[in-house]
Structure 1
């Protein structure tokens, strides 16, 4: 799979600009000139949404009413023309996604262009809230698995309707009636089970795959939704006005597979001084179902040993970067296996973030995929890449 060209109309800081791409591409330009906006445009055609903006409307150029992103994709012997048009006329937002001129639902548009994006901000997948880890896992599956896309779409619509009912009851606008919830409950249970299964499959793929960059494992802290659990949480949901169980509450703990012995011994010394165990079943950094089943297994993923630690809590900045790099490599492998296609690799200003050893690991990825990279200075580009590069200089 290759992207041959990209045109941005009223997108971010671009009035109208076109770009041609080769196998290995580097976009050079000073900060704020719009390098990342090019990657955002490509990613928009991959997922049907912005990876930067909280709302897609924010990608429209200031003082304009619409934005359009279009590209030509080569997929084997097929030529695919993709377009995304977002408009905000009189404060009414609309979005059109087209494949070869024909409008498509977002669930059918996704996967026409497969991408893996790596930015300095990706470290927040490890360090930030569970929602970022959920989104990361979900975005991989959205590209690679149509069953997941369809189930997630149905689930999110049903969840929205069910939460609206709960909120109305909480605010006294209606009384609770079981039959009003029955239809939405069935949709959530059926599609939630599919979502959980596909997330488990991805986590198992990551855990069983060879790690040649950084040893990590993921513990899937899943929130299943069944009729029994719906009944159990009934009063709490009425009081809060929200659905409190289901895949929207999942988390994915990213753990050291083999923590450094020195760090483990240091932690043990702290335990002796404080006369308390900082690891094991009583560790508040682990969710309840992990601590309660410390000796009996964790979901369908991995069983924490005494020295398992979250990379969020115990990893250095360098180890966290390596973790993301390893995850991105596994993401490429998963998408290739699931779709039998090679995704396009988008790298946003990462050469300035990595040392020479880790840059070599990135170069190995670049050799596997069409790659589009951004950087502020030509000096950041590894010399071994220069003879093979297509340079795009923004001024």
Structure 2
């Protein structure tokens, strides 16, 4: 996927702006507060209709305006798409080739993006939820089926937890059996999908970490799951159901579900040391970048399209050598990279001054 042109009208700080980017590396250069991240955000919205900053839609409209517009022309696998997003403070309408789409999924199905922000270091340094969010976003970038199962799992989990908090419910036994079977159905799919993805992610990211950080570096990912992976899906579901039954009394006492994919975690290692506890800022940032580039490569491998790579303030904590190694590892991806460093130089990059 390549963005060929972009036009903004009253999007955040941009009253009117036109961009014709390079098909490969684009460096967005400017001082703090000039709108570099806003531009990345607009590019990202053309791909899945949502802000990677989790902003409310109305906050995307320039404070002097009542509506905003983003228009983009994109090349996706040799086909040209015209994408248009019109937004008022009440309504968001998205067009693909002048036709209104009914759901954001229609937009996400034709393209893909991978985003790095400074907050992504929390996928390693932060909570288990941060790491689960990273893993879920990777898999939802590949298939809607994962997103469907994840949403349904969370819905059933909330219902089960609500039931566990009720002390005197005459239908408890029948209801808990219904919720357990639904939880096992959706949860087993999540666990199996995560395990298969992590196995492939580890292979690719270990190589990318060597390229970005050091050829001698050893990078490893460990998936901490409540269940061992089984080739037989039915056997795995039986084991999951058994664990839920075995922990039912404990769950009733605490009022929440203690077993399932919502309790799992990832651990990242550099030369056999846990990056969360012992990694330097440079090591952690290099690991996150290796994971993001690997995510791009797996999107291409499994979906057959190149995602667009958006890198916000990526050069902090990276010395000149690792910056060059990062550039050389981007391959044929179209990338947009923000920086405040006016000394940055990359021979074949398009410089966009903001």
Q: In which range does the TM-score fall when normalised by the shorter chain?
A: 0.7 to 0.9
Is residue 43–residue 49 contact of structure 1 (8 Å, CA) maintained in 2? yes
Q: Is 1:113 matched with 2:108?
A: no
TM superposition shift of 1:219: 0.7
Partner of 2:269: 255
**Separation in structure 2 between the aligned mates of residue 87 and residue 160 of structure 1, nearest angstrom:** 33
Do residues 228 (structure 1) and 237 (structure 2) align?
A: no
1:337 aligns with 2:301: yes
Q: Say if 1:245 and 1:66 are closer, same or farther in 2 by CA, change over 3 A.
A: farther
Aligned to 1:12: 12
The alpha-carbon deviation at position 337 of structure 1 amounts to 0.9
Structure 2 matches for 1:168-179, cutoff 5 A?
Answer: 169=166, 177-179=172-174
User: Residues 180, 109 of structure 1: CA spacing in aligned structure 2 closer, same or farther, 3 A cutoff?
Assistant: farther
- Partner of 2:31, secondary structure, is coil
* Residue 352 of structure 2 corresponds to residue 392 of structure 1: yes
**Corresponding residue pairs, total:** 333
Match of 2:51 in 1: 50
C-alpha distance in 1 between matches for 2:16 and 2:250? 52
Matched residue SS, 1:366? coil
Query: Equivalent residue for 2:256?
Result: 242
Q: Indicate if the aligned counterparts of 2:71 and 2:85 stay in contact, CA closer than 8 A.
A: yes
1:197 aligns with 2:192: yes
Higher relative contact order (CA 8 A, sep 6+): 2
- Contact 1:25 1:373 (8 Å CA) reproduced: yes
Aligned residue for 2:37?
A: 36
SS of the residue aligned with 2:329? helix
1:370 offset after TM fit, Å? Answer: 1.0
| 8 Å contact from structure 2 (residues 69, 87) kept in 1 | yes
Q: Is the 8 A contact 1:154 1:191 kept in 2?
A: yes
The question of 1:102 aligning with 2:66 is answered no
CA RMSD of aligned residues (A): 3.0
Aligned pairs for 1:1-395 within 5 A:
1-23=1-23, 24-53=25-54, 58-62=59-63, 68-84=69-85, 88-89=89-90, 98-100=95-97, 101-166=99-164, 169=166, 177-209=172-204, 211=207, 212-213=210-211, 214-224=217-227, 226-256=240-270, 259=271, 308-379=272-343, 381-382=344-345, 384-385=346-347, 388-394=348-354
| TM-score of the superposed pair, with normalisation by structure 2 | 0.81
Paired residue secondary structure (1:325): helix
| Cα distance in 2 for residues equivalent to 1:66 and 1:160 | 36
Distance 1:311 1:60, change over 3 A: same
Instruction: Give 5+ residue unaligned stretches, structure 2.
Output: 212-216, 228-236
Do the aligned residues in 1 keep the contact of 2:10 with 2:16 (CA within 8 Å)? Answer: yes
Instruction: Note the residue ranges of structure 1 that are not aligned, 5 or more in a row.
Output: 260-307
Per-residue deviation, 1:232:
2.8
8 A Cα contact 1:47 1:143, kept in partner:
no
Q: 1:82 to 1:198 in 2, by over 3 A?
A: farther
Q: Are 1:67 and 1:86, in contact at CA under 8 Å, matched by a contact in 2?
A: yes
